[in-house]
Structure 1
Amino acid sequence: MANILETVSIDLYPLDNAGPHRTDKFEMVHEETPTPVLRRGQNFNIQVRFKQRSFQKDKDVIRLIFNFGSRPMTTKGTKAFVRVDPKAPGASADRKQWYAGLKSVERDTATIEVLASVTCPVGNWKLQVETGTISSNEKRIFDYSSEIYILFNPWCCEDLVFMPEERNLDEYVLTDVGKIWVGPYGSSRGREWVFGQFDKSVLPAAMLMFQKGGYPEFNRGDPIRLTRFISKMVNSNDDDGILVGRWDGNYEDGTAPSTWSGSVPILEEFLQTGDSVCYGQCWVFSGVTTTICRALGIPSRVVSNLVSAHDANASLSVDKYLDANNEELDFDPNNPMGEDSIWNYHVWNDVYMARPDLPTGYGGWQAIDATPQETSDGVYQCGPSSLEAIKKGQVGFNYDVAFMIASVNADLMRWKEDPNSPMGYSRIYSNKYHIGRIILSKQPFFYDPNGDKDRQDITNEYKAKEGTQAERVSLMNAVRGLQTAQSFFDVPADAKNDVDFDLIDLDKIKIGEDFDIVVNIKNKSNEVRNIRAVMSASSVFYTGVKAQLIKKAEGSFSVPPNQSEIMRLTVAADDYLTKMVEYCIMKIFAVATVDETKQTWADEDDFQVVKPTINFNIPNKTFTVNKPTRVLLTFENPLKKRLNNCTFNISGPTLMKNITVSIAPVQPLGRVQAQADIVAKTEGEQKLIATFTSTELNDVTGSVKIEVIEDEE
């Protein structure tokens, strides 16, 4: 045994290796006791120090043993025995194999170049160094004290997550602040979000997520299965995942979704408590999903679909029903398990990868959705769905392609009770353009703190242009693949339509303003048309669920031959101010029936009551490293009522940890104001993000770019 090398220390050069592996932003590699963060399929260096003597090529044998998970096995790819090649190392010919080569020997140390297999599981590994001799079976093993994180490598062409446009990885893997587009079609805005994927809590939180969900360790190298699992575990509906979803406005026992400005506080709480965090909504689920994917090395972007369909019965249509008296039904008579809905907007993620499980051409961006809407294979998960498959209507391809097609391109159909129809209802209206009005993501390499110039329209990546033959062919291709959809699309419309109705859309109004519901009517016939009509305004949650009726009016009138009329209902600010729910979204609805022809028409529109934004007052927009700078945040209270339980939340990755500032109640129409002293830790361009919440007003946000400079002293 005295002749066997005895290892006394191992150095993985955490910071030196982090640079070429593009992991130098991770906080854990900069700590006093650093943790190595590496990427698979890429060389890194380690140094092994021995006791008393140096390594001898013709006598000694070194093996590196990498262990992953609770029961490492070579047959599962969770254990790797890597014999160090004593020859000078060269580039490994096969990156699917682990490799180690002796780089240099100096006195009592050996520097070894190592390559982790490009298919190895992703997460925290353990390293052992085994030493022995050529002439003996006796071994000595030394354990490296720290865990080692090995991540996906989108810069390596053999990795399934490889992205050929390398510059885009600066945005989709390395950028830690972004935007999430929220709000109805006419008033959507980019909400600032701190992804913070390099925070020291993120990778451990992801490992806890894998553990709680019981995800097989040997599958953690496959981005297809892994991202599907992430879509399941970011919500808490199965296996007590990261976030509890809630949409009813009651958040007293947790944090209101609109309060969050980034993922890190959520993942910190999940890591510290091991419990699901309260509460999230679609854009919060998406923000956390982006953080986890980017931290693991999977290119990811946030996707916002404005006017998004929730198809509850795989019909590729959103079906709304009226009774014989033109009253909307609050249930789906053809689907007792649930009803279709239209969300003002819905947010999910695209992840980038090859799809060897699908035919050639279906790799690239894949949609995953962590918001629990419908089950897939018995649990709340969705994707990855190839965008190419969605665009072409290929519902037979994995995973959940039909649900995603409906989300962006379902037809809106309205049905009226009809005892003479085989279905019990006749189709009175079909709109091919309403769903998926625009699909947005953040434009790479650009951030607009004061507006939406950084938004990117990616609608054409999900579907052909509305109204074109290609769009109809794609949707009908999907319909042919779903028996339920065929039964809805095969029903002909049954009405003589000689009166045109047009509900005038409202994009947005400022909070406190009155608004009108207006319907233009044109009688195209040569006879008088008598019309019975109902108009209403309601407050709604962004999921399309109605909250409170604000105002409703109905009546009858005549329209002369070939003449036009206008229906109008005025809604005053006092009618709606006390009935608004979170995000201040309104729905206007109109329905009319022509007595002579039985033509029935109905339409609706959602719009938003717009709130103010937070203004930042920072001298010269400049910070100095390690010196406190006072920041003033202000906006005007738009309500004629006092704001209570007022709180500002301020955050910025690499700039500071989250700061919460509570302020006194704000008087009606008064000025809201708070200040905080912020100490920047690193130089360069940074982003500061703030949210404001109170009992009476929430979802008020703002952001600013700042420059952090070194102290000249």
Structure 2
Amino acid sequence: MLGRLYVTLPVSFSKNTSSSARWKAYCEPKDFNPQNPSIFISPPASASVGCYKFYLYVALKNGKWNCVSGNFILLCNPWCSEDAVHIPFEDQREEYVQSDSGLLFMGTATNPISRPWSFDQYEPGVLETCLNLLQVSPLHKKNKRRDYLKRNNPVYISRVVSAMINCEDDCGVLKGNWSKNFKEGVNPSTWTGSGDILKQWAQSAYKPVKYGQCWVFAAVMCTVMRVLGIPCRVVTNFDSAHDTNDNLVIEEYYSETGQKLNHTKDSIWNFHVWVECWMDRRDLGSEMNGWQVLDPTPQHRSKGVYCCGPAPVKAIKKQHIDLVYDIPFVYAEVNADVYAMIVSKGKVLRVHKDTERVGSLICTKAVGFPRPQNITAEYKYVKSHSPALSSRSSTPSDISTLSRDSSSGMSVFLTLDESPVAGAPIRFMVQVINKHRVAKMLKVHLNAQAKEYNHSPSDTFWEEHGVIQLAPSEVKVMKQQIFPAQYEDVVGDDMINLAVVLEDMANEERVLASEEFNIACTELSIEIPDESSVEINKDQTATISFTNPFTQPTSGVLTVTGAGLMRSKMHYRMPTLSPGGVVEQRVTFRPYMVGSRMLQATLSFTNINTTIRGFKMISVES
């Protein structure tokens, strides 16, 4: 029985495998005991997901009946070739269904930063909470029978989960917050896993947990889908377009001196995180089988509800925008064009079109390895197949963005010397080319602003202005740097928007180059004395060390957690550490689950808006 739906079937004394389309039950004749029977129940591959009740009736020789009842939970089965979520490779089933830890990728396309995450699907109570998520959804409350019947379809299940991860239309799991005011809840950056979020939601009688942002929504959905047996992976789209007017164009505005302006509702997030789930699309045809985009972040209404997908990745690449679900929205996120404009007194002085920036890198965690896998080519036709992770540049020194403008008499290129690291100067160079055969006198304006990954930049924190002279056809390179003391108190975990505007003093013609980048922090180091001897229910010791890379003293709180390794989080107050100083913290834990486990450490500073993380994969033996 599933709710009030039921099926009655005889128990046979042979394992009949002739048909997998019906419910079957059998027992071994030699082992049959009517007082304590062992019965094997075999559901069809198309059976609905849920918590079932069963009743077993045995007719005894004396004319009486013996009745046994119980419960079992039925999930999707990616190992079954007839199941709509069947994924054919064992290493992918291990990664996308069984693995309870992973990496989320953030930062920028040219400098992706990995963030460890614990999916926690084996933690106590998580399975029950994920099943209850289906029970408290509006579709179940509206029509229980219809909901139960449709739970045999992963397309339907995934849409229900996508809507229920956010709380905008229902009693969903998470409340989004993209402000900097998290007083009524938790800063999204402090979450380290899905278990705490799902448990808090269940224990509060399904009141939304505060707060989440895109990577939190996606990671929690990944947990729920894996629990339900649907292969799932977390995907990051770098330079993700948020096209509010559906014209596939993102407009950006800059002042005459290179300051980025907030003049439009359109935006480009430095990164946006969603999930992909693996399933057959029997509603669309076998050519659309495979990975499907689902986005639980509440930014798009699909049939009136804040959810997105499942949109076949193959349909996005082939531009089949007439198919369901939400393909045009996802297509714009990875393919919109960018128009960067220099404006003055309401007048547009210059427009530059960039067709490669949006969706410049789409990646997920590689199967079996703690590194990103570039899947950009699965979404769009990339022009070149560089061996590097990013599809736009092969090395950090080759990075350049807005610049090339053949209609202008001058060109400008803005290039970072290397990926910026906390505690070191940001070094970059500006290359100016005079394409005319006459000398030019140019004004040069350099501007740096801090920005959150999903917002327009804040006020300028660094700028330089000057005048240079170029001979006919001359190329001039100017080297610049921004020192740590100039950016540490401003940037923190935020990005930097760096722009240069050239102005031809003879005709007031202008050209623009810009780059948005993140500043990487050194990770916490985690060492285990003898990694080959970690055993279940046996005390182990880890040493966590940190070297202060900043130009000022730091202090903070170290938090250590690990699903299957420790029952609860451990917190340690770290002493004030001088620049360049080193501190170590010994942590004792007792593993309670075998297999590959992730030990996480997070150091949150009290005087700097930065969080440093580290993780260690530990193999626990029985």
Report the equivalent of 1:238. Answer: 169
Q: Partners of 2:288 and 2:162 in 1: how far apart?
A: 20
Report if aligned partners of 2:605, 2:611 keep a CA contact under 8 Å in 1: no
Judged with a 3 Å threshold, the aligned counterparts in structure 2 of structure 1 residues 445 and 602 are, in CA distance, closer, same or farther, namely same
Matched, 1:211 2:135: yes
1:341-490 superposed matches below 5 A: 341-415=267-341, 428-447=351-370, 454-466=371-383
Deviation at 1:182, TM superposition (A): 1.8
Matched, 1:225 2:135: no
Partner residue of 1:292 out of 224, 233, 246: 224
Deviation at 1:664, TM superposition (A): 4.3
Judged with a 3 Å threshold, the aligned counterparts in structure 2 of structure 1 residues 593 and 232 are, in CA distance, closer, same or farther, namely farther
Report the equivalent of 2:238. Answer: 306
Judged with a 3 Å threshold, the aligned counterparts in structure 2 of structure 1 residues 544 and 560 are, in CA distance, closer, same or farther, namely farther
Question: Which ranges in structure 2 are unaligned for 5 or more consecutive residues?
Answer: 141-146, 386-403
Report the equivalent of 1:639. Answer: 550
CA deviation map 1:270-298 (0-9, x unaligned): 12112222222222222211111111000
Q: Partners of 2:526 and 2:258 in 1: how far apart?
A: 50
Report if aligned partners of 2:453, 2:495 keep a CA contact under 8 Å in 1: yes
Report the equivalent of 2:512. Answer: 602
Q: Partners of 1:612 and 1:209 in 2: how far apart?
A: 38
Report the equivalent of 1:62. Answer: none
Q: Partners of 1:190 and 1:326 in 2: how far apart?
A: 31
Report if aligned partners of 1:305, 1:439 keep a CA contact under 8 Å in 2: yes
Judged with a 3 Å threshold, the aligned counterparts in structure 2 of structure 1 residues 419 and 276 are, in CA distance, closer, same or farther, namely closer
Deviates further, 617-626 or 218-227: 617-626
The one-letter code sitting in structure 2 at the alignment partner of 1:579 is V
Report the equivalent of 2:474. Answer: 563
Report the equivalent of 1:572. Answer: 483
Deviation at 1:635, TM superposition (A): 0.1
The one-letter code sitting in structure 2 at the alignment partner of 1:535 is L
Report if aligned partners of 2:342, 2:512 keep a CA contact under 8 Å in 1: no
Q: Percent identity?
A: 28
Q: State the number of aligned residues.
A: 590
The one-letter code sitting in structure 2 at the alignment partner of 1:100 is A
Matched, 1:667 2:590: no
CA deviation map 1:5-43 (0-9, x unaligned): xxxxxxxxxxxxxxxxxxxxxxxxxxxxxxxxxxxxxxx
The one-letter code sitting in structure 2 at the alignment partner of 1:689 is Q
The one-letter code sitting in structure 2 at the alignment partner of 1:67 is L
The one-letter code sitting in structure 1 at the alignment partner of 2:269 is W
Report the equivalent of 1:50. Answer: none
Matched, 1:498 2:441: no
RMSD, matched Cα:
3.1
Report if aligned partners of 2:545, 2:585 keep a CA contact under 8 Å in 1: yes
1:184-199 superposed matches below 5 A: 184-199=108-123
Matched, 1:614 2:545: no
SS at match of 2:523: coil
TM-score using structure 2 length: 0.86
Matched, 1:627 2:559: no
Report the equivalent of 2:400. Answer: none
The one-letter code sitting in structure 2 at the alignment partner of 1:191 is R
CA deviation map 1:465-491 (0-9, x unaligned): 1379xxxxxxxxxxxxxxxxxxxxxxx
Report the equivalent of 2:390. Answer: none
The one-letter code sitting in structure 2 at the alignment partner of 1:261 is T
Q: Partners of 1:600 and 1:467 in 2: how far apart?
A: 30
Deviation at 1:88, TM superposition (A): 2.7
Judged with a 3 Å threshold, the aligned counterparts in structure 2 of structure 1 residues 512 and 225 are, in CA distance, closer, same or farther, namely same
Judged with a 3 Å threshold, the aligned counterparts in structure 2 of structure 1 residues 526 and 515 are, in CA distance, closer, same or farther, namely same
Report if aligned partners of 1:289, 1:349 keep a CA contact under 8 Å in 2: yes
Report if aligned partners of 2:405, 2:411 keep a CA contact under 8 Å in 1: no
Deviation at 1:120, TM superposition (A): 2.5
Partner residue of 1:124 out of 41, 51, 55: 51
Q: Partners of 1:237 and 1:596 in 2: how far apart?
A: 55
Deviation at 1:223, TM superposition (A): 1.0
Deviation at 1:684, TM superposition (A): 4.6
Q: Partners of 1:683 and 1:211 in 2: how far apart?
A: 31
Report the equivalent of 1:33. Answer: none
Report the equivalent of 2:201. Answer: 270
Report if aligned partners of 1:80, 1:98 keep a CA contact under 8 Å in 2: no
CA deviation map 1:619-645 (0-9, x unaligned): 22333432322322120222344445x
Matched, 1:67 2:9: no
Report if aligned partners of 2:257, 2:445 keep a CA contact under 8 Å in 1: no
Q: Partners of 2:73 and 2:261 in 1: how far apart?
A: 54
Report the equivalent of 1:331. Answer: 263
Judged with a 3 Å threshold, the aligned counterparts in structure 2 of structure 1 residues 170 and 516 are, in CA distance, closer, same or farther, namely closer
TM-score using structure 1 length: 0.76
SS at match of 1:535: strand
Deviation at 1:264, TM superposition (A): 1.2
The one-letter code sitting in structure 1 at the alignment partner of 2:358 is I
Partner residue of 2:126 out of 181, 202, 205: 202
Deviation at 1:67, TM superposition (A): 2.4
Report if aligned partners of 2:241, 2:333 keep a CA contact under 8 Å in 1: yes
The one-letter code sitting in structure 2 at the alignment partner of 1:294 is R
1:161-172 superposed matches below 5 A: 161-172=85-96
Judged with a 3 Å threshold, the aligned counterparts in structure 2 of structure 1 residues 683 and 366 are, in CA distance, closer, same or farther, namely closer
Report the equivalent of 1:704. Answer: 616
Partner residue of 1:254 out of 178, 185, 196: 185
Task: Name the larger-Rg structure.
Answer: 1
Report the equivalent of 1:160. Answer: 84
Report the equivalent of 2:497. Answer: 587
Report the equivalent of 2:74. Answer: 150
Q: Partners of 2:37 and 2:552 in 1: how far apart?
A: 72
SS at match of 1:616: strand
Judged with a 3 Å threshold, the aligned counterparts in structure 2 of structure 1 residues 355 and 323 are, in CA distance, closer, same or farther, namely same
Report if aligned partners of 2:201, 2:208 keep a CA contact under 8 Å in 1: yes
Deviation at 1:132, TM superposition (A): 6.6
SS at match of 1:205: helix
Deviation at 1:544, TM superposition (A): 4.2
Partner residue of 2:446 out of 535, 551, 574: 535
Matched, 1:114 2:41: yes
Deviation at 1:166, TM superposition (A): 4.1
Deviation at 1:459, TM superposition (A): 1.4
